[in-house]
Amino acid sequence: MAIAQGHVGHASAPPATHVPAGLAGWLSTVDHKRIGIIYMLAAFVFFIIGGIEALLMRVQLGTPENTFLTPDFYNQLFTMHGTTMIFLAVMPMNVGLGNYIVPLMIGARDMAFPRLNAMSVWLFILGGLMLYFSFFAGGAPNMGWFAYAPLTQKPYSPTFGVDYWILGLLLTGVASIAGALNFIVTILNMRAPGLSLNRMPLFVWMQLVVAFILVFAFPALTVAQIELLFDRHFGTRFFVPSQGGDAVLWQHLFWFFGHPEVYILILPVMGIVSETLPTFSRKPIFGYAFVAFSGVAIGFLGFLVWAHHMFGVGLGPLANAFFAGASFLIAVPTGVKIFNWIATMYDGALTLTTSMLYSIGFIAMFIIGGLSGITLASPPVDLQQTDSYYVVAHLHYVLFGGSILGLFAGIFYWFPKVSGRMLDERLGKVQFWLMMISFNVTFFPMHIIGTDGMPRRIYTYESGMGWDLWNLVATVGSFLMAASVLLFLWNLMVSLRRGAPAGNDPWDAATLEWSVSSPPPVHNFDQIPVVQSRRPLWDHKYPEHAGDDHGAAAPDPLLAGFEQPAIHLPSPTYNPLILGVGLTTLFFGILYSSIPPLSISLAIAGLALVALAIVGWVRDSHKDSPYAAH
């Protein structure tokens, strides 16, 4: 046994595989844990940038007829804010947490495709950087994150902004689809012996559902974006109504992706609180199967409701009625989840840690977002509320009050596992209450101004509409939210250096990731665990309180003879990063198709890098050397 465990702050390197030190080690890493950290750090940086964009908009809207921002820059900001928060902040934060935690939860040594995993994280970052490069290349996209046709066509959007939006997101789209396939294969194939789907932690369940949603939803966006790219660069007319194209087609394609995307953002977070609530209640999740399958139901129904974003488009009362009915139906599995979470806490022994507070805050705010969603799902009511600030309120209750509060719950929960140190609880609780109050001060008034007729996406408004006061209140609230995020950043930096050592299992939790050191060794598990129940670690610690609905867990005799496999770890490689850089270079070449010499040289350079990386990648697999831990 060559692996030393339990040393806070530095993981032991496996003896047979050389991991470069410092930055080189991070750039060439194929370790799911390091990749997860890169995902989360990058997502956090984009979250801060998206937040700054929001603050600028709130300053502009704080008073009527304000001239702080020009109209065009304001339009760039709301486009980038939406795009950033969805594609570059919340999604990758979920993916990063999943990357780090899922293999540990299922008793695996890594993701199924470690090099593909590295490619995904680099493509996500490069896609985000490419999108942001547009600010320095003639202006960021300014047509809204939904990019409705035909405003996106060259005559109406002559800058390169739309092209940066298309190509940057295509890169992140490749990352997402590759990542989703990686999750599916990992979760379906690499679970520890005995860890049947029926015993799988709910966080892993939700990551699996999300991976499937991604694989089915993202291609619709990719197709739409490529068609739009061809419209703008190569003379096709998919979305040009005056030449036989169809502007509504874009909306169908976009929302066929766009609505499932909402569940891509929220389901992993539902998975997070399905872990934190039982842990901090010292009880098993109430109704495990109902919580898991309501997640599956939400994922499935999510594909049948896209046109509720299009009630005003004129699809006809019958079509609207169908999509309204399907949208209402989603309230049922969502309600089931909420009731089960409350029942999990009921009669429990609650420990109100920061993570638990955020989990409870998530439920409380998500209920409000769900209820305002009911009114929006009713087509007649939607016709008054859509495209007004009511929708802005609704979506932020779901995506901030839901996703981001839930992500804070997950970050406070797993930070000790990732870093080996505890986040400061007192700072955390102050930050939680500041966040809860300021979040509501910011977004609740938007229900009111929306109902009072304030449209979305306007950079200015008249005084005397009854909107002045609430807009000012929202602006004040947004800066308090920023203060809360700064407090978290402070907590993060202080705790990384001086936080209390976490130990393996600081929360007295139930799942496998808490059975290994914090941070875990490179190979995760010295011995692949054999799982007998839904709460392997809990049952190990509290055998007298073990078991599930079907009685106490009995060792499966077939598992007793399980032969430990040799530890097989992939070697570090730069090829995924090179491939990402090559693809990005190629995409720049496509973007500047109107300048042939530049375009062709970029495309050739990009393709050469891609080819180089693929050849190297194929050879990489021969370098992997298994080493024995016994």
Which parts of 240-269 interact with other proteins (CB under 8 A)?
Answer: 241-242, 245-248
Instruction: Write the CB contacts of 256 (distance below 8 Å, at least 6 apart in sequence).
Output: 217, 220, 303, 306
The answer to whether 573 touches 616, Cβ cutoff 8 Å, is yes
Closest CB to other proteins among residues 218, 250: 250
Interface pick for other proteins out of 332, 554, 559, 608 (rule CB under 8 A): 332
When asked if residue 14 is in the footprint of other proteins (CB under 8 A), the reply is no
CA nearest 337: which of 399, 396, 272?
272
When asked if residue 48 is in the footprint of other proteins (CB under 8 A), the reply is no
When asked if residue 20 is in the footprint of other proteins (CB under 8 A), the reply is no
CA nearest 313: which of 398, 250, 235, 238?
250
Q: How far is the CB of 138 from other proteins (least distance, A)?
A: 15
Site residues for other proteins, window 192-251 (CB under 8 A)?
241-242, 245-248
Q: How far apart are CA 281 and CA 271, in angstroms?
A: 16
Q: How far apart are CA 479 and CA 460, in angstroms?
A: 20
Sole residue written with tokens 């992939």? 570
When asked if residue 342 is in the footprint of other proteins (CB under 8 A), the reply is yes
Residue 454, classified by CB atoms within 10 Å of its CB into exposed (0-12), middle (13-18) or buried (19+), is buried
> Which segment (380-388, 408-416, 564-572, 582-590) binds other proteins by CB under 8 A?
380-388
Instruction: Write the CB contacts of 145 (distance below 8 Å, at least 6 apart in sequence).
Output: 78, 79, 82, 83, 86
> DSSP string spanning 71-106?
HHHHHHHHHHHHHIIIIIIIHHHHHHHHHHHHHHHT
When asked if residue 436 is in the footprint of other proteins (CB under 8 A), the reply is no
Sole residue written with tokens 């129904």? 301
DSSP 8-class letter at 42: H
Using CB under 8 A as the criterion, what x/- string covers residues 75-94 for binding other proteins?
x-------------------
When asked if residue 312 is in the footprint of other proteins (CB under 8 A), the reply is yes
Interface pick for other proteins out of 12, 236, 375, 593 (rule CB under 8 A): 375
Q: How far is the CB of 429 from other proteins (least distance, A)?
A: 13
Closest CB to other proteins among residues 102, 409: 409
Closest CB to other proteins among residues 219, 547: 547
DSSP 8-class letter at 399: I
Peptide bond into 15 cis (omega under 30): no
Structure tokens at 181: 């396939």
Size of residue set near other proteins by CB under 8 A:
99
Peptide bond into 284 cis (omega under 30): no
Interface pick for other proteins out of 41, 296, 364, 607 (rule CB under 8 A): 364
Closest CB to other proteins among residues 9, 317: 317
SS3 567: strand
Interface pick for other proteins out of 189, 198, 384, 527 (rule CB under 8 A): 384
Closest CB to other proteins among residues 113, 286: 286
Interface pick for other proteins out of 119, 125, 187, 336 (rule CB under 8 A): 336
> Which segment (176-184, 224-232, 316-324, 486-494) binds other proteins by CB under 8 A?
316-324
SS3 331: helix
Site residues for other proteins, window 518-577 (CB under 8 A)?
542, 545, 547-549
**How many beta carbons lie within 10 A of that of residue 190, not counting itself?**
18
How long a stretch of residues is the chain? 630
> Which segment (118-126, 207-215, 279-287, 554-562) binds other proteins by CB under 8 A?
279-287
When asked if residue 188 is in the footprint of other proteins (CB under 8 A), the reply is no
Site residues for other proteins, window 392-421 (CB under 8 A)?
393
CA nearest 277: which of 507, 593, 517?
507
Residue type, 51: G
Site residues for other proteins, window 91-120 (CB under 8 A)?
none
When asked if residue 380 is in the footprint of other proteins (CB under 8 A), the reply is yes
> Which segment (31-39, 90-98, 214-222, 312-320) binds other proteins by CB under 8 A?
312-320
Instruction: Write the CB contacts of 595 (distance below 8 Å, at least 6 apart in sequence).
Output: none
Site residues for other proteins, window 441-460 (CB under 8 A)?
444-445, 447-448, 450-460
Closest CB to other proteins among residues 508, 526: 508
Interface pick for other proteins out of 383, 604, 608, 628 (rule CB under 8 A): 383
When asked if residue 329 is in the footprint of other proteins (CB under 8 A), the reply is yes
Residue type, 93: M
Structure tokens at 160: 């390169």
